[in-house]
Amino acid sequence: MSSTHAILVTGGAGFIGSHVVRRLVRRYPTYKIVNYDALTYAGNLDNLTDISSASNYAFEKGDINDMDHVVRTLHKHNINGIIHLAAESHVDRSIEDPLSFVRTNVLGTTSMLEAFRRYRKDTGIEGKFYHVSTDEVYGELGDTGYFTEKTPYSPRSPYSASKASSDHFVRAYHATYGLPVVISNCSNNYGPNQFPEKLIPLMIHNIRKGIPLPVYGEGANIRDWLYVEDHAEAIDLIYHEGRPGETYNIGGDSEWKNIDLVRTLCKLMDEKTGRLLGSSEELIHFVKDRAGHDHRYAIDFSKLKNELGWTPAADFIEGLSKTIDWYLANDAWVERVTDGSYKEYYERQYGEK
């Protein structure tokens, strides 16, 4: 057996996964990083063109529900550990089609756990299963307070219910089979390569096109925002140093009310595109609220800070500015991902293109 440390990253062609894969490939030249992804509408190998020919990188197309294929892939690459990010990740799509979230997030995660348990039994490899989850499993907060690792689970959308369920299965594999698992629950990410169905890239895209900016309800909901590269750094650290059986919350220390965030984005876009200041704001359009819309998320990440020394590095306005610059410079990427199926989704969700 080879002595190279090999990590299987599921969902590595998606938004966060691609930043995790890039970081690991660049930072650990002696490791092998295997990206396992089904390439759904959200997965895009263009996200990784800069590292795709690196000698320590490999791509395997496959579905996390295909347990036999996962087991074969684990053997083929002598995998030591798994970082599991593959998921259906968008709340609005979960409201439209909850069962596909159960299939991918609940059954798919359990299938990954079972594949890894069998593979470890066959090979005696002692590696970790790292499950990347969301703060949304904790439900919603009022205007004060923070989610800690001890906050009881109270998911309120089909997406968060499916992620909560997958977290329970991960813990059950630890308790029942002694699988060395670790879980992190993170707040809203933003940055380059995010699919334009999520708030920030959707607004950037619509401002560019000069079409309405759909703000749900009164725009009073609050999210905590973390720059995606800071999340990738936390994942790297937790994979290597997180204690088996433990959970770590990850947050950006950057709470924004949606309407304030959208107005800030409009201002930055006006500045960067040379438009008359205030013209993008005129596109703001308040639309019907999301069903079961969680009011506020906010994270206490003191456990991660105190145990492993992690804090978010990016300032939100600087991160937002970098994100806008990336989208302005990557028209071709945006055009490719907003093809036919995106237009159909947009029409169903917002009733206009």
Cβ contact 205:338 at 8 Å: yes
Q: Which residues of 291-324 are buried (b: 16+ CB within 10 A; e: fewer)?
A: eeebebbbbbbebbbeeeebebebebeebbeebb
Which among 150, 2, 7 has a CA at the least distance from the CA of 84? Answer: 7
> Which of ligand TYD, ligand NAD, none does residue 39 bind (CB under 5 to 8 Å by kind)?
ligand NAD
Cβ contact 120:82 at 8 Å: no
Q: Which two tokens stand for residue 49?
A: 């063109």
Entry field: residues in the chain: 353
Q: Give the footprint of ligand TYD on residues 253-292 (CB under 6 A).
A: 258, 290
- Give the binding range for ligand TYD (CB under 6 A) out of 58-66, 162-170, 198-206, 277-285: 198-206
Cβ contact 52:25 at 8 Å: no
- Give the binding range for ligand TYD (CB under 6 A) out of 15-23, 64-72, 212-220, 299-307: 212-220
Q: Could you give the CA distance from residue 239 to residue 129 in angstroms, rounded to a whole number?
A: 9
Select 64 or 283, whichever has its Cβ closest to ligand NAD. Answer: 64
159 is catalytic: yes
> Which of ligand NAD, ligand TYD, none does residue 223 bind (CB under 5 to 8 Å by kind)?
ligand TYD
Site for ligand NAD contains 89 (CB under 6 A): yes
Site for ligand NAD contains 338 (CB under 6 A): no
**Cβ neighbourhood burial of 211 (10 Å; 0-12, 13-18, 19+):** middle
Q: Which two tokens stand for residue 188?
A: 């809203």
Select 111 or 258, whichever has its Cβ closest to ligand TYD. Answer: 258
How far apart are CB 179 and ligand NAD at their closest, in Å? Answer: 18
How far apart are CB 30 and ligand TYD at their closest, in Å? Answer: 36
Site for ligand NAD contains 16 (CB under 6 A): yes
Site for ligand TYD contains 345 (CB under 6 A): no
Q: Which residues are catalytic?
A: 135-136, 159
Binding site for ligand TYD (CB under 6 A): 91, 188, 198-199, 202, 214-216, 221, 223, 258, 290
